[in-house]
Amino acid sequence: MNQRPKGTYDLLPDEAEKFFALEMHLRELLKLYGYKEIKTPIFEHSDVFHRDNEMSDMVIKETYNFKDKGGRDLTLRPEGTAGVIRAYVENKMYTEPITKLFYIGPNFRYERPQKGRFRQFYQMGIEAIGLKSPSLDAEVISLSYHIITSLGLKQVKVKINSLGDSESKLMYKDALTKYFKDETDLCDDCLRRKFENPLRILDCKVDGKKDVVLKAPKPKDYLTEEAYLYFQSVLAYLDNMDVHYEIDDTLVRGLDYYGHTVFEVEALIGMGAHNILAGGGHYESLVKELGGPDVAGVGVAFGLERLLSAIDNEKIKITNEEPLDAYIVTFDYKTHLHAATLLARLRDLGYKVDLDHTLAKFQSQFKKAVKSGSRYIIIIGEEELDNNTYQVKDSKKEKQQTLTFSELVRKLG
115 band by pLDDT with thresholds 50, 70 and 90: confident
Per-residue pLDDT at 313 exceeds 80: yes
CA distance 229 to 133: 12
> From CA 262, how far away is CA 291, in angstroms rounded?
24
Query: Is the domain 13-165+224-313 a CATH 3.30.930.10 member?
Result: yes
- Please give the distance of CA 56 from its chain centroid, rounded to a whole number: 21
The least confident of 12-16, 207-211, 248-252 is 207-211
Backbone angles phi, psi at 297, to 5 degrees: -160, 170
Are the beta carbons of 117 and 107 closer than 8 angstroms? no
Q: Please report, rounded to a whole number, the percentage of residues in the chain having pLDDT higher than 70.
A: 98
- Structural fold of domain 326-412: Rossmann fold (3.40.50)
Say what the pLDDT of residue 105 is. Answer: 96
Task: Supply the pTM of this predicted model.
Answer: 0.87
Nearest to 373 by CA among 395, 342, 347: 395
For 161-185, how does the pLDDT look when each residue is reduced to its tens digit (9 = 90+)? 999 999 999 999 999 999 988 888 8
Structure confidence by residue, pLDDT tens digits, 207-237: 888 888 888 999 999 999 999 999 999 999 9
Where in the sequence of the chain do the CATH 3.30.930.10 domains occur? Answer: 13-165+224-313
pLDDT at 273: 62
Model pLDDT, residue 375? 94
- pLDDT at position 320, please? 66
- Give pLDDT, residue 59: 76
Of 161, 98, 140, 127, the closest CA to residue 241 belongs to 140
pLDDT confidence band for 274 (50 / 70 / 90):
low
**Does pLDDT of 348 surpass 70?**
yes
Does residue 354 register a pLDDT over 60? yes
pLDDT at 1 over 80: no
Asked whether the beta carbons of 160 and 247 are under 8 A apart, the reply is yes
In the chain, where does the domain assigned CATH 3.40.50.800 lie?
A: 326-412
Q: Which of 77, 42, 61 is nearest to 110 (CA)?
A: 61
pLDDT tens digits, residue range 324-337?
Answer: 999 999 999 999 99
Tens digit of each residue's pLDDT (9 = 90 or more) over 22-77: 999 999 999 999 999 999 999 999 999 998 777 676 777 899 999 999 999 999 99
Mean pLDDT lowest for which of 84-93, 202-211, 372-381?
Answer: 202-211
Question: CB under 8 Å to 18, separation ≥6 — which residues?
Answer: 308, 311, 312, 318, 319
- Separation between Cα atoms, residue 332 and residue 127, nearest integer Å: 58
Spatial separation of the C-alpha atoms in residues 67 and 75, rounded to whole Å? 9
Least confident range from 23-37, 224-238, 308-322, 397-411: namely 308-322
Is the pLDDT higher at 87 or at 413? 87
Evaluated on CA atoms 186, 212, 53, 287, the torsion sign reads positive
Residue 411: the pLDDT is 92
Across the chain, mean pLDDT equals: 92
What is the per-residue pLDDT for 208? 80
